[in-house]
Amino acid sequence: MTSPKILLAAHNIRPKKQFGQNFIVDPAFADMIVCRAGISSEDIILEIGAGVGALTVPLARKAKMIFAVEKDSRIIGILNTQILAGGFTNVSIIGKDILAMDIGALSEDAGGNIIVMGNLPYNISSQILVRLIHSRQNIRRAVLMLQKELSQRITAQAGCKDYGRLSVMLSYCSDIKKLIDVKASLFYPRPKVDSEILELKFKKEIQDQATDELFFFKVIKAGFGNRRKTLKNALNASELNIGADAATHVLENSGIDPIRRAETLTVEEFVKLSNNLLEAISK
């Protein structure tokens, strides 16, 4: 494949920082991603941020179908040329913002659960991950390249400084595995930090199920919305409209010291707290 730098320069296109555009420059590295992801001829792929096709092309050689999503209208023409040059008929280019797409509808139209892949723009990575969580009934797994800082937050365990809202949400509904360490030198333009590729396998069944999942996610958000506050004060200051006395009562009934902070709670403790809070509010 022609270098992304050369392709973009030939069309007088400069990467947009606000789009978080960093293009893979090594075809062998793109091939390795597809190999490590275990893509087969039966897989339907939703690729986020297809760019000029560095990952799309090797995916097209392996997968049944690729929905290549690219927001930047300036480079869709380049992407289309790359697909045509390869003679691929299993790639559908979608010129949209991934955050505006109905992933469930796309999966149903495709006739099966999808695998999501892509190099996520840092500025909207968290939003995309939350969107995938809510759409996970239609997603078998996700293989995502993330800046190292975010990847470490996702994989952090309770009690660590990096542990946060996404750590809890993703641990609740998926099994997380690091696949590849990625050096910044593998991209154009070169980002300031290294990245990591994570695989998220969404669970078909959750052992410790939240009674109301949307409420559970709100409780997590409330806990981490005021990280420096104790859980009692964080819940009291949140949009959940729970008074300090009520919060203390539910926390104690859940076996959680009210002066603990959100980053010390395990996923199971968050589930128990959410279920007990919901019961208390419903009375």
- pLDDT (0 to 100) of residue 283: 73
For the cut 90, the answer to whether the pLDDT of residue 112 exceeds it is no
Burial class (CB in 10 A: 0-12, 13-18, 19+), 88: middle
Query: What is the residue-averaged pLDDT of the chain?
Result: 95
CA 115 centroid distance within chain: 12
Whether residue 18 is found in the same domain as residue 55: yes
CATH number at residue 64: 3.40.50.150
Q: What is the CB neighbour count within 10 angstroms for residue 229? A: 17
Output the CA–CA distances (angstroms, integers) from residue 280 to 34, 220, 221, 252, in the order listed: 48, 17, 19, 13
- Taking residues 243-256, report their average pLDDT: 96
The letter for the amino acid at 86 is: G
Whether residue 180 is found in the same domain as residue 241: no
Whether residue 157 is found in the same domain as residue 271: no
Whether residue 69 is found in the same domain as residue 129: yes
CATH number at residue 242: 1.10.8.100
For 82-95, write each residue's pLDDT tens digit.
Answer: 999 999 999 999 99
- pLDDT (0 to 100) of residue 118: 96
**DSSP character at residue 192:** S
Could you tell me the two tokens for 208?
A: 């410790």
Burial class (CB in 10 A: 0-12, 13-18, 19+), 102: exposed
Nearest to 108 by CA among 69, 71, 139: 139
DSSP code per residue over 69-121: E---HHHHHHHHHHHHHHT-SSEEEE-S-GGGS-HHHHHHHHTS-EEEEEE--
- Taking residues 195-213, report their average pLDDT: 96
The residue segments making up the domain with residue 189 are 4-202
Distance, in Å, from the CA atom of 210 to the CA atom of 173, rounded to the nearest integer, reads: 11
- Taking residues 214-234, report their average pLDDT: 95
Whether residue 93 is found in the same domain as residue 70: yes
> Is-contact 187 25, C-beta < 8 A?
yes
For 29-84, write each residue's pLDDT tens digit.
Answer: 999 999 999 999 999 999 999 999 999 999 999 999 999 999 999 999 999 999 99
> Domain total for the chain?
2
